[in-house]
Each structure stands twice: as structure tokens, then as C-alpha cells.
């Protein structure tokens, strides 16, 4: 009498097919996963840039009220236009495209006060640059590393920037980024 032996395990062909299917799934998932991680990090940086934007506007409004009675050469913002760069809680007034410090000794107390006001709300970690024109914050860029890839911008977020502008921002250091790239464009009158 013949006994029917049941097979135990998989054949070599079944194993090869399963491994091939897993390989195909991984080849599709890994690039997609990387895209989602990048977008998540940029969204977090955009959120931080928005917080800094709001904190900076609050402080600029306070400074504007105080500077109304000052002479323009004594005022920190003076004509209402300036750029501010901060790294890990220490900030300085700077040029908007190069990040070079502008008369750091004269405004040392103002730089420290402006940094503290923003850092009370946004925290001291990370690097950011703020552009102000006519006492209104125009743009902010933020990153947790000086030359990090995942930068956040506001009021135009990284999703709203052109690919060329985004590539420029991602490849540059925070203090050398041209802040005009992220400034909101005024609506054209019809």
C-alpha cells in the first residue's frame, strides 16, 4: 500500500518567486518612503519658520512703536528695512543676501533683545534668517543645521516655491540665502 507523503516546506521556485515579489515591492516603496520623509521634515521646518515669522512680527511691531520717537541713526531698524540672522539663540543684524554682520557692536544689545524675544516663543535651537521691510516681516527661512537640506520657509512654504528657487535654498547656507526668494508677492491689482 502506498502512503501519501505530504510535502513540508517550499520548493526552490516558490522561494525565488516570493523573494522577487518582495524585491519589486521594496524597489517601489524605498524611493516613496524617502519622499515622504523629506516632505515631513520640510513641513516641520515650515511650521517652525511660521512660528518664527509670527514671533518676529510681534517684536518688530514693538520696536516700531518704540523707534517712532528716535533719531534714525539711533534706531535698530531705522528705515523699517533690515535682515536678522540667528544661530542657536545668538543673533545679529545682517545683509539680506550675504548674511554679513552689519555694525554688530553698535546694536549688540538690540541684537540680543531681538533674539531673546523670538527665542522665548520659537526656542533657541536651529538657524533662521528674517527679512523685514517697512516694519513688516517679509520672509523667514529656518533649518536645524546651518547648511542642512531640510529648510522651512514662510510665508511662501517650500511647496509654493519654484523648483529653481527651492534648489537654491536647499543647497545654500542659511546666512547666504537671498531672502527675497521667499517673500510673498503682492497681489496684482486688476
**Residue 88's closest CA among 167, 27, 174, 180?**
174
Q: Which three cell numbers stand for residue 101?
A: 554682520
For residue 48, which phi and psi values (nearest 5 degrees)?
-65, -40
Residue with cell 524675544: 117
> What is the per-residue burial (b if ≥16 Cβ within 10 Å, else e) of 100-123?
eeeeeeebeebbebbbebbbeebe
What beta strand segments (E) does 100-189 contain?
Answer: 127-133, 136-143, 152-154
**Residue 174's closest CA among 125, 137, 124, 140?**
140
Which residues of the chain register pLDDT less than 50? 187-190
The per-residue pLDDT for 142 is: 92
The per-residue pLDDT for 29 is: 85
The per-residue pLDDT for 178 is: 81
For residue 80, which phi and psi values (nearest 5 degrees)?
90, 0
The per-residue pLDDT for 94 is: 79
Q: Which three cell numbers stand for residue 81?
A: 528695512
CA–CA distances in Å: residue 52 to residues 25, 123, 158: 41, 9, 16
> What is the per-residue burial (b if ≥16 Cβ within 10 Å, else e) of 130-165?
bbbbebebbbbbbbbeeebebbbbbbbbbeebeeeb
At residue 55, the 3 state secondary structure works out as helix
pTM: 0.77
Amino acid at each position: 500500500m502506498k502512503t501519501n507523503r505530504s510535502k513540508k516546506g517550499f520548493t526552490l521556485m516558490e522561494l525565488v518567486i516570493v523573494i522577487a515579489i518582495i524585491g519589486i515591492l521594496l524597489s517601489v516603496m524605498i524611493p516613496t518612503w524617502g519622499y515622504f520623509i523629506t516632505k515631513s521634515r520640510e513641513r516641520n521646518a515650515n511650521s517652525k519658520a511660521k512660528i518664527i515669522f509670527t514671533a518676529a512680527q510681534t517684536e518688530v511691531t514693538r520696536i516700531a512703536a518704540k523707534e517712532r520717537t528716535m533719531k534714525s541713526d539711533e534706531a535698530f531698524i531705522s528705515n523699517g528695512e533690515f535682515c536678522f540672522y540667528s544661530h542657536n539663540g545668538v543673533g545679529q543684524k545682517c545683509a539680506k543676501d550675504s548674511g554679513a554682520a552689519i555694525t554688530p557692536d553698535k546694536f549688540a544689545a538690540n541684537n540680543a533683545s531681538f533674539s531673546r524675544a523670538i527665542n522665548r516663543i520659537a526656542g533657541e535651537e536651529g538657524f533662521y534668517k528674517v527679512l523685514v521691510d517697512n516694519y513688516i516681516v517679509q520672509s523667514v527661512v529656518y533649518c536645524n543645521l546651518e547648511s542642512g537640506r531640510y529648510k522651512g520657509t514662510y510665508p511662501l512654504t517650500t511647496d509654493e516655491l519654484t523648483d529653481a528657487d527651492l534648489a537654491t535654498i536647499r543647497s545654500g547656507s542659511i546666512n547666504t540665502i537671498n531672502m527675497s526668494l521667499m517673500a510673498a508677492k503682492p497681489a496684482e491689482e486688476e
